[in-house]
Amino acid sequence: MGTYGIVIEGQYDEVALTEIIKKCFSMEVEIIPRKCGGKDKLITRFPAYLESFRYEKKGSHVDKAIVIRDAHGEDPEKIKEIMRGKIEKRNYPFKVKFIIIAQELEAWLLADEEAISRVTVDRSGKPVPRVNESLESIPQPKQTLHKILGEARVAYTDGVAREIAKESDLDKIEYRCPRFREFRQTVIDC
């Protein structure tokens, strides 16, 4: 069993990304999340969280650490450059990778309307329509997901985010959100 440390922005990221990472593997993985409380706090706090991963497995280190941040309209490569600069003089006994989601995690959740519908039908009896636009180009996919779920009379909660992620087809996400391919490959390349 592998152990992954993930540094993420908040609660929705924790529950959804934990499910998505688990789906990337046929074996069991342990995921140790560290929530930062938003994108700006993530940039300042992630180096300390990476340090904490040195002693996470009964005194040993995690196998891999992934720092995951939403782009929120910013250039993903510039964000990665800033993040790499914050740890350039540090050495870790595990791989550290950076993933920037365009624009927010909810773009990935919107990719599989059948998964969303399974969740909404179970809760309210109402399916949801497909979003027919480039998901990674939607400036605020969280608002779009809120609207779609609201029309189905389902509130967007961390539990709903977890269920959608658990129900999602990763191949559909990758097809509709090309940057997801980088995330998936980063997760499985350990």
Kindly state the helix (H) or strand (E) to which residue 32 belongs, with its residue range: strand 29-35
Residue 190 has a pLDDT of: 59
CA 128 to the chain's CA centroid: 22
Single out the residue of 48, 58, 15 nearest to residue 33, CA to CA: 15
Q: Among residues of the chain, what percentage have pLDDT more than 90?
A: 94
Backbone φ and ψ of 32, nearest 5°: -110, 105
134's torsion region: left (phi>0), alpha (psi -120 to 50) or beta? Answer: beta
pLDDT in tens, 68-117: 999 999 999 999 999 999 999 999 999 999 999 999 999 999 999 999 99
At 19-65, the pLDDT tens digits run 999 999 988 999 999 999 999 999 999 999 999 999 988 889 999 99
- The mean pLDDT value of the chain amounts to 95
Whether the predicted model's global pTM rises above the 0.85 cut: yes
Pairing mode, strands 29-35 and 2-8: parallel
Cα angle value 35/36/40 (rounded, 5°): 150
